[in-house]
Chains A and B, each alone.
Chain A
Amino acid sequence: MKWGTWLAAALSGLIWNSALAGEGVQSSCEGCHIEAAAAFGRSAMSRAASTSTFLAEWKHKGEDKACLACHAPSGGAGVQCRDCHVGSDHPFSKLDVPNVCASCHDAPGELTVRSFLRSEALKDGYGCLDCHTESRGGDVHDITGPSRAEFLTRVGRLRVSVATGPQGDVAVVSISHSAGHALPGGTSGRAVWLVVEGLDDVGVAVWRALTRFGWEYASDGGWTDKTLKPNRTAIVEIGDLHRAGARKLRTSLVYQFTAGEYDAPEAVHEQMDQVEISFPSTKP
């Protein structure tokens, strides 16, 4: 395969000189490492500084250069070959995953790498690439994640019990997930919501309780990590279930791609799991 790569490079008219002559670094890598380049081109990382979502928020932040330290450290449309393959001499030495990812995925507000280091997934021998590249072709650069919504199915799991307590019925919801790190994994703005609704006879929600998992900040600028940790079940209890004539309970786990409130008009959601429970008809 390596000789194939080399041959393809030779046939496409590229010679070592073009790399040595210091032409555009990315294009010179691409010319020889066709497979790696094609695979990385499919990853959202390669476009991290050019999506409409990024550009809108970046503009809003006064085009702060600090953003590019992670979104496009070498300029261009996004993350590039040399942002991971650091060092001086080609061919570069083998990368140390996940340390090489930490420069962007381990920061205040970005706790993917550090929560991974405490996960059972690591103890079981999984690495970042085992979970993030399996779906396509097998190239290490085919790194996908929640930018493809299918990636989020079967990740989060809800269990619900309704128990009778001294104050009446209580719904006890437990949430667990199979990501090898915190959920949501990264940015301070994304969130996972637990949405619990009481439904009437015809299935219309008559009440709703929202719980947010993600990063939150206080007005003094202090940040709190309220993400769902790996290998830990989060528990939420909700009382007064029969209020407003509710006959059913609907519990949903929803991933929110956009920052802000659950009901914000621009919110983009993906449902991860849902459970419905009917109350017995003998209940008021």
Chain B
Amino acid sequence: MKYALPLAVMVMMFSAGIGVAGGGVATLSEFGFLIEQVKKNTGEVYVIDLRDRAAYLSGTVPGAVHVGPSPDGYIGDGRGGAVLVIADGDTSADILEAWHDRLVTFGHDPIYFLEGGFASWVNHDGPVKSPVDTSAVPGKFPFIIPRGLCEMNTPAKVYP
């Protein structure tokens, strides 16, 4: 594996004691797997960020969506699949457990929680990005939509 990590347990699948099939503690290679998936942006792992808005905006896992701290009103798209939950290191176990239950409802499996939260992602060289770079705002067209298909009509910079 590319990312050899010093700690024995980095990624916990939050399932011990709450009776989810396939639960248990994930291995080191799964941490490497998560970083790899995020770097390649394969879409295999959906990443949600529970931290406050300012923390999210100042830098998160690339592609992570901000869903706020409360699982109560959360609705997933039903497409399920793997999900990685980004939280503060001191988020209570109760809240994480409530999130776990909510995510199961929408078909997510496996569900990854990072022991130590976002900080441990950073400590282990997981990529971090400000979501501002990749977000778009609907309905705002400060620019003109081109009327033709090749309006620039500028010859290429590179000729063979």
- Residues on A lying within 8 angstroms of B by beta carbon are 53, 57, 60-61, 64, 66-67, 69-70, 86, 96, 99-100, 102-110, 113, 120, 124, 157-165, 169, 172, 174, 176, 178, 187-191, 194, 196, 209-219, 223-224, 226, 231-238, 258-261, 275, 277, 279-280
Q: Do A102 and B156 form a contact, CB below 8 Å, given A165-B68, A174-B63, A260-B147?
A: yes
The residue of chain A having its C-beta at the shortest distance from the C-beta of B76 within the complex is A161
> How many residues of B sit at the interface, in one of the four size bands?
35 or more
Docked complex Cα distance between A194 and B67 (Å): 20
CB distance from A274 to the nearest CB of B (A): 11
Identify which of A158, A211, A223 contacts B152 (C-beta below 8 A). A223
Residues of B in contact with A (beta carbons under 8 Å apart): 39-41, 43, 46, 48, 62-63, 65-68, 70, 72-79, 131, 134-139, 141-160
A216–B143 alpha-carbon span in the complex (Å): 6
B139 to chain A, nearest CB (A): 6
Question: B136–A213 contact, CB under 8 A?
Answer: yes
Q: A234-B134, A235-B135, A259-B145 are in contact. Are A106 and B156 (CB under 8 A)?
A: yes
Contacts of A110 in B (CB 8 A): 152, 156
A-side contacts of B157, CB under 8 Å: 102, 106-108
Q: A215-B146, A233-B62 are in contact. List 19 more A-B contacts (CB 8 A).
A: A61-B148, A66-B155, A69-B155, A120-B39, A157-B43, A163-B68, A164-B68, A188-B150, A189-B149, A194-B136, A211-B138, A212-B145, A213-B136, A215-B152, A216-B145, A218-B142, A233-B43, A235-B63, A259-B148
Q: Which residue of B lies closest to A64 (CB)?
A: B153
A109-B152, A194-B138, A209-B139 given as contacts; is B68 within 8 A of A100 (CB)?
A: no
- Taking the closest CB of chain A, its distance from the CB of B149, in whole angstroms, is 4
B148: A residues at CB distance < 8 A: 57, 60-61, 188-189, 259
Select which of B39, B139, B141, B153 is within 8 A of A216 by beta carbon.
Answer: B141
The answer to whether A70 and B75 have CB atoms under 8 Å apart is no
Q: A161-B77, A235-B135 are in contact. Are A187 and B143 (CB under 8 A)?
A: no
Contact residues in A for B142 (Cβ distance below 8 Å) = 218
CB within 8 Å for A120 and B41 given contacts A209-B139, A277-B77, A279-B75: yes
Q: Are B40 and A163 in contact (CB under 8 A)?
A: no
Closest-by-CB residue of B relative to A222 is B143
A84–B46 CA distance with the chains assembled, in angstroms:
42
Q: Are A161 and B67 neighbours in the complex by a CB distance under 8 Å?
A: yes
B150 CB, nearest partner CB in chain A, Å: 5
Chain A positions within 8 Å of B70 at CB level: 164
Residue of B39, B40, B153 ringed by the most chain A CB atoms within 10 A = B153
CA gap between A61 and B108 in the complex, in Å:
52
Find out whether the CB atom of B67 lies under 8 angstroms from the CB atom of A104.
no
Known contacts A161-B48, A216-B143, A233-B134, A67 near B158 by CB under 8 Å: no
Question: Once the chains are docked, how many angstroms separate the CA of A209 from the CA of B136?
Answer: 12
Q: Separation in Å of the A128 CB from the closest CB of chain B?
A: 14
- Which one of B63, B65, B139, B146 contacts A161 once the chains associate, using CB atoms below 8 Å? B65
In the bound complex, CA of A233 to CA of B42 (Å): 10
Contact indicator B40/A120 (Cβ below 8 Å): yes
Whether the pair B73, A217 counts as a contact (CB closer than 8 A) is no
**Complex A-B, nearest 8 residue pairs according to Cβ-Cβ distance, in ascending order:** A164-B73, A216-B143, A189-B149, A233-B63, A109-B152, A163-B67, A162-B75, A209-B138
Establish whether residues B144 and A216, one from each chain, have CB atoms under 8 Å apart when the complex forms: yes
